[in-house]
Amino acid sequence: MALQEQINNSSNEEDRQRIMDELNNIDKQVKDQLSNQSKVQDSRLQAKLAARRKKREGAIEKERKLKQDQLQERIQRSIQNSQDYQLKKNEMTDEALDKIVNDLKLNLPEQEIPAALEKVIDEKHQGELEDLLLKLYEQKAVELKEEILAMMEEKIGKQQEIRKQCKDRVKGIDALISRTIDDGEVEKLKAQ
């Protein structure tokens, strides 16, 4: 106001021009200072956002690693249970096979024993093969299920992260727009 009064009170055109130049110079300094302050604030905000993103990504990676370890542990436990079951079944089968051979020796003539024994062994092998294939199928099904669940969780996590980044970016652009003085810069920011 003091400069405005000086302009109105000055009678000399040269004084008025000098005061107007001073006023324009002060106005320019204020605009530059505001612009510099907003740039500093923006850089601080970007640094904080980057740190937050890095922290969140670290937590997501840690959680993913933990889930992967749990998956491997479950797979190993399933394999061990399958192997234990197979060993018990083989032991029982060996005892049953010995009993069958003794029964064959008692009930069949000597010429038919090799053919009957071969048939029994073929049936045993076929049953073992079917059991092994079933166990392998079950194991692969568990692995695939766990992998699909892990992929879905990772996808959901990435979607949430992208949404959060978009919201942060919109907030940042809104903050820039609210601090920006130049209309050209405002239009440029809105276009982003």
Least confident piece of the model among 16-25, 28-37, 161-170:
16-25
175: confidence class by pLDDT, cuts 50, 70, 90: confident
> What is the pLDDT, as a whole number, of residue 186?
63
Q: What is the mean pLDDT of the chain?
A: 80
Q: DSSP state, 192?
A: -
> What is the pLDDT, as a whole number, of residue 190?
66
What's the CA gap between 108 and 105, in Å, rounded?
6
- Which among 28, 23, 29, 30 is positioned nearest to 7, based on CA atoms? 23
What pLDDT, in 10s, does the model give residues 32-77?
888 888 888 888 888 888 898 898 888 888 888 888 888 788 777 7
* Residue 135 tokens, joined: 């166990």
Contact present, 75 and 141 (Cβ < 8 Å): no
Please list, residue by residue across 68-98, b when 16 or more beta carbons sit within 10 angstroms of its beta carbon and e when fewer do.
eeebeeeeeeeeeebeeeeeeeeeeeeeeee
Read off the pLDDT of each residue in 105-109 and give the average, rounded to a whole number. 82
